Amino acid sequence: MENNITLSKNYTNLLDEVYKSASVTADLTGDPAMTKAGTNVNEICYPQISMNGLGEYDRNKGYTDNSISLEWKTTAFNYDRGTKISVDTMDNQESFDIAFGRAGGELMRTKAAPEGDAFFFATVAGKPNISKADAVAYRDGSDFLEALIEAKTKMDEDEVPEESRILYATPTLVNGLLGLDTYKSKEIMNSFSAVKKVPQSRFYTAIDLLDGRTESEKLGGFKKSDSGCNINFMIIHKPAVIKFDKHIANDIIPPSSNPNSDSWILKYRKYALVDIYANKAAGIYLSHKPLAE
């Protein structure tokens, strides 16, 4: 797609920027030390530990035998996306270096971060055996509060540790809960290690990643899938998810090194993985609206 740059006028130093929040899932990125390379370059291995329970202690024979099984599970990377921005040297000069100088930040904030969040939530929402509420559209903050209490109870019963539980919910629901200003609402909010507002525009149970090449998908990015539902909220126990970035390239090529044109080039690529630990599916709780809404 050709660049669309409006030349700057001398009387203004403002840039018309799009309002977009940065990534809301960045804090879920895991420790690289907990993974290792797989047999193939597109695979990664992560540890899963299991052991036997306690046995009857005998005063003559002592303890029963036990053993720890540490098994390395293998999974394939499932996210490989990128783009290249080209800005003509004269266009950049005539916009007082705004065109290219702001390109990287705008790309991260308005394109990469929303897509990364949307991919994370849709991928986790599609995992088997996670806890789910019945599909519903909450009428008000009171409905949302009762749903959170039900979700918290479910996770408590499943013995998911309260520490590191993060609540992700739409701004409408979070603000509605804040509006109640009751003891019960404050207690439920304080039970989470963090509460994150997720714009509905990146909060779906399924998305389509647009290829940026075919005629109908030239704009790139993502969109809500036909089979996707709007998510109300997700509670995520951080140790339950695998979020790993294997390769992120963010390179700048000056016009002097560009063999094809007199343009600045910004390249961005992200090669990553989003998954959950199979034995920690209870650490995910999902509530979404019916498909038609």
- Report, in this order, helix, strand and coil percent for the chain, each rounded to 5: 30, 30, 40
Q: Residue written as tokens 């499932």?
A: 78
Q: Are 75 and 53 in contact (CB under 8 A)?
A: no
| Residue that the structure tokens 């002592």 belong to | 62
Instruction: Kindly list the domain boundaries of the chain, sorted by start residue.
Output: 79-288
pTM of the model: 0.86
pLDDT score of 234 more than 50: yes
Scored b (16 or more CB within 10 A) or e, 192-222 reads beebbbbeeebbbbbbbbbeeeeeeeeebbb
Q: Is the pLDDT of residue 12 over 50?
A: no
Average pLDDT, the chain: 88
- Count of Cβ atoms closer than 10 Å to residue 131 Cβ: 18
Q: Which of 99-108, 227-236, 241-250 has the highest mean pLDDT?
A: 227-236
